[in-house]
Amino acid sequence: MANFKSRKVVIVGAGAVGSGFAFALAQSGIAEEIALVDVNTDLAKGQALDLAHGAPFYRPVNIHADTGPGAYRNAAIVVVTAGKAQAGPDQSRLELMQINAKIVTSIVSDIQSVNPEAIVLIATNPVDILTHVARLRTNWPRGRILGSGTVLDSARFRWLLAEHCGISPQNVHASILGEHGDSEFAAWSLVHVGGLPMDDYCSVCRKCDFIHRRPQILEQVRRSAYHIIGYKGSTSFGVAMALVQIVRAILRNERRVMTVSASLEGEYGLKNITLGVPCVVGAGGIEAIIEARLVPEEVQQLAHSAQILKENIEKLGQGTP
Ligand code: NAD
């Protein structure tokens, strides 16, 4: 275990994402305390009580509802899921920006006032922009404010590739990079199946003409959230499990490579922007950013995604709400 003073995790927002994450985190056994905070205090209380009743079935963890800012004291990690979600399959994540920027800014100001040592993990959308805004607000080292980025999208990508190839997703290494949103892209040059680069794997497998399937698979990844929201109104389980992986990597100092949202300071030729790139995640949050050798087309796609995010941050006015 990493040398944290506590393994307390605070979850802000006890809705679909926050409660799904709390459920998965409780079962993971990695936290010793989970505090749920929501402006809807009854919701936080109800979720905490419901979860606490499973206590005999998982390793000891103190689950309770709390109210900020006092709740943030002694937390190793604060995970922010509070805010508006996409109202339906026609609403993009970027359309949530104005309202959620105000919510996230006020939450991180509260965290900073009582626990300036915490690691803050943002999941609220648009996650890249809100992680950027939160970092500007706190001026913390970039490793300590990270977003869930394209960790979920990369998992969706790995699953779709695995289904296509008939191989376990654990033997498929693949990343979606850029905005967690419509401009995200597949880094095809980094895909490995069973330890082989994708093209080599295809030349061994020869069951399909995979090059023609690529655009469909990427589109399925990009549209995943819209499809799920169309069916059931929100997405929660996938993101919950992705958040557990990130929190585990931090609390256990796993130094896992994940495509979290990171502030770039010259990597990939980009500055003053926050988006999903491969990062080493450990006890300090983002320990390092890996500058993968992307092919020129992918470098352009990353720059395009950065440009879209920058234009939207400018719309927020001065970059900070
Ligand atoms: P939800 O409406 O079910 O829950 C949001 C909760 O936030 C509500 O209970 C609300 O009362 C609470 N809240 C609002 N303002 C607050 C504040 N100032 N302090 C504390 N709590 C506050 O929504 P959801 O489906 O859980 O989605 C939450 C966010 O997560 C959305 O922005 C959604 O787009 C995002 N999301 C992100 C990912 C990802 O991969 N990063 C995936 C799915 C959803």
Task: Find out whether the beta carbon of 280 lies less than 6 Å from any atom of ligand 1.
Answer: no
Residues 135 and 146: their CA atoms lie apart, in Å, by: 9
Length of the chain: 321
Q: What is the pLDDT at residue 147?
A: 98
Do 170 and 305 lie in one domain? The reply is: yes
Q: What is the pLDDT at residue 320?
A: 47
User: Tokens for 12?
Assistant: 């802000």
Structural domain contains residue 200: yes
In this structure, what CATH number is given to the domain that contains residue 63? Answer: 3.40.50.720
Q: How far is the CA of 206 from the centre of ligand 1 (A)?
A: 44
Do 173 and 311 lie in one domain? The reply is: yes
Q: Among 113, 147, 181, where does a domain finish? A: 147
Structural domain contains residue 321: no
For a mutational test of ligand 1's pocket, the pick from 38, 107, 274, i.e. the residue with the most ligand atoms closer than 8 A to its C-beta, is: 38
Task: Find out whether the beta carbon of 211 lies less than 6 Å from any atom of ligand 1.
Answer: no
Structural domain contains residue 2: no
Do 174 and 262 lie in one domain? The reply is: yes
Residue recorded with tokens 């256990």: 252
Do 160 and 135 lie in one domain? The reply is: no
Sheet of 172-173, strands arranged across: 172-173, 192-193, 196-197
Structural domain contains residue 227: yes
Do 196 and 312 lie in one domain? The reply is: yes
Task: Find out whether the beta carbon of 65 lies less than 6 Å from any atom of ligand 1.
Answer: no
Give the chain's domain count.
2
Structural domain contains residue 108: yes
Catalytic residue among 53, 164, 173, 180: 180
Nearest to residue 121, comparing CAs of 78, 84, 76, 151? 78
DSSP letter string over 201-218? HHHHH-SS-GGGTHHHHH
In this structure, what CATH number is given to the domain that contains residue 252? Answer: 3.90.110.10
Structural domain contains residue 1: no
Q: Among 93, 115, 147, where does a domain finish? A: 147
User: In the 8-state DSSP scheme, what is residue 250?
Assistant: H
Q: What is the pLDDT at residue 2?
A: 57
Q: Which domain holds residue 125?
A: 8-147
Structural domain contains residue 3: no
Do 226 and 296 lie in one domain? The reply is: yes
Helix (H, G, I), strand (E, B) or coil at 169: helix
Do 128 and 199 lie in one domain? The reply is: no
Protein residue whose Cα sits closest to atom 34 of ligand 1: 85
Q: What is the pLDDT at residue 3?
A: 60
CB distance 273 to 263 below 8 Å: yes
Q: Among 98, 121, 147, where does a domain finish? A: 147
Bin 289: left if φ > 0, else alpha if -120 < ψ < 50, else beta: beta
Structural domain contains residue 234: yes
Task: Find out whether the beta carbon of 18 lies less than 6 Å from any atom of ligand 1.
Answer: yes
Task: Find out whether the beta carbon of 14 lies less than 6 Å from any atom of ligand 1.
Answer: yes
Do 293 and 156 lie in one domain? The reply is: yes
Do 17 and 39 lie in one domain? The reply is: yes
pLDDT in tens, the chain (321 residues): 456 778 999 999 999 999 999 999 999 999 999 999 999 999 999 999 999 999 999 999 999 999 989 999 999 999 999 999 888 888 888 888 999 999 999 999 999 999 999 999 999 999 999 999 999 999 999 999 999 999 999 999 999 999 999 999 999 999 999 999 999 999 999 999 999 999 999 999 888 888 888 999 999 999 999 899 999 998 999 999 999 999 999 999 999 999 999 999 999 999 999 999 999 999 999 999 999 999 999 999 999 999 999 999 999 874 444
Do 99 and 74 lie in one domain? The reply is: yes
Task: Find out whether the beta carbon of 239 lies less than 6 Å from any atom of ligand 1.
Answer: yes
Do 142 and 168 lie in one domain? The reply is: no
For a mutational test of ligand 1's pocket, the pick from 21, 23, 81, 108, i.e. the residue with the most ligand atoms closer than 8 A to its C-beta, is: 81
Q: How far is the CA of 17 from the centre of ligand 1 (A)?
A: 6
212 flagged as catalytic:
no
Q: What are the DSSP E strand ranges found in the chain?
A: 8-12, 33-37, 62-65, 77-80, 119-122, 145-147, 172-173, 176-177, 185-186, 192-193, 196-197, 256-258, 261-265, 271-276, 279-282, 285-289
Terminal Cα-to-Cα distance of the chain (whole angstroms): 37
Q: How far is the CA of 246 from the centre of ligand 1 (A)?
A: 18
Do 108 and 188 lie in one domain? The reply is: no
